[in-house]
Structure 1
Amino acid sequence: MSFKNIIAVIALLGLAPAAQSQEPSLSFNLFSYQGAYLNRIFRFNADYTAKYNIPIKVPFALQIPIRNDVELIADGRPSGGIVKFTFATKDPSGRRFIENFHVVDASFPIPQDSDDPMPIRLRSAAKALTQSAYPSAIQGFTDAKIISTREISVNGMRAVQLLATYTDPSNGPMVLQLVAIPHPARAESYFILHNISRNLVPINGPEQLPDTLGGRILASFSYE
């Protein structure tokens, strides 16, 4: 079986519709938004390092979607990784978590004895996501389950995606998207950790991932 065909047998991510809370504070639904998005471009390069003293091994850029009913919280020094963007509701009674998008350092060595090293690197990336990134991401949570691991395309680049579900005691049912993006020409690379609240983002299948806030960011990811 080719690597591209490694998919879960559970249809539609295995995601049944998340239970909807009756609390008015959970009436927010990301997919019900009808307004326009604005994109703010963030570049992580030598200038970023000089300004914030955060080392960037390989430059990259992201476009962050902005909308008037969502608060953006940027953390340039997250615990592990390069940057984390958190999206929350603008709720007068207290912010509620919607999604976050966390960029983390990674290294996917380039085999020197192969005419086509990318498939080897993708297999290595999938193993790293499954055996290292995933256990770390779900630590302290319950009901964790891997749904699928497969190759995807990110802005024209070959990448590996792991999808999972889990329960957060504070935020309820969650979707976890882990994506490893090997740099086409360098070992130094990044992987993405994307958490989604299913109470506020009622995602029921993989076809909705690009419409999430983190999905929009992921589609813009580029090495520079």
Structure 2
Amino acid sequence: MKKPLSVVLSSVMVSALFLPVNAAAYKVVEVTKGGTITGQVTFAGSEADAKKHSKMYTITKDTDVCGTGKREINYVKVNNGALNDVVVYLDKVKKGKAWLEDEKNTTINQKACEFLPFFTVMANKGKLTAINSDPVAHNIHTYEIIGKAKKTKINVSQPNQNSEVSKTIKLRRGAGMKVECDQHDFMHSFVFVAKNPYYAVVAEDGTFKIENIPPGKYKLKVWHGYLKDPRGKTVNIKAGETKKVKFRYKNKKK
């Protein structure tokens, strides 16, 4: 007996709702005569403007380990006009060069009640390892940043010194995560989660380079954990070609 067309369509639509986002897996292929993208990321403001995004926290707990008084978190770091802690990346790349092994996973150490490093990078579906080096309890809590919203990815208590936890991270919509400690409100950091190996963390002078790109048309984007990201740019890469692209961040919070 044939099902009515409306029933068939409804079944297809329901199935589609459960398909994973970006279902097509990245495919590693040999890249010949790949192209290169270089450029710089700058900040539309002075270092004093960047300083306005800093936040001062009062240390009120575990002062024998965490210290006393105030702690300043610099969410926006600018060096002679160049913005730091930024990643430039190609979005939705289907195939290309292989990942480097040391790109896939990352480790965050909780030491003297700080997340070290403040900014780090890992691959999507890689592992984030959190180490508690302090003789006090921590609770690492990571959030996928989706526009102005945040979605919990890890929420794990680490009550003992030298405790270690590793979790696989899979982001569907966001490009990165905010990291906090539920035990200490003055602990903060960020993680960029790359969905392909075509990305670059900017240098202190804001410059970057992405190499060995297969010829084609791409969307080039930037990500900063705190500031609102500029609109992505379409880039056409020819074999062996080098393109130069610049991004300028406005003085705006996400």
Please report the TM-score for the alignment, with normalisation by the length of structure 2. Answer: 0.24
Task: Return the structure number with greater helix share.
Answer: 1
Q: Which has the larger radius of gyration?
A: 2
Task: Return the structure number with greater strand share.
Answer: 2
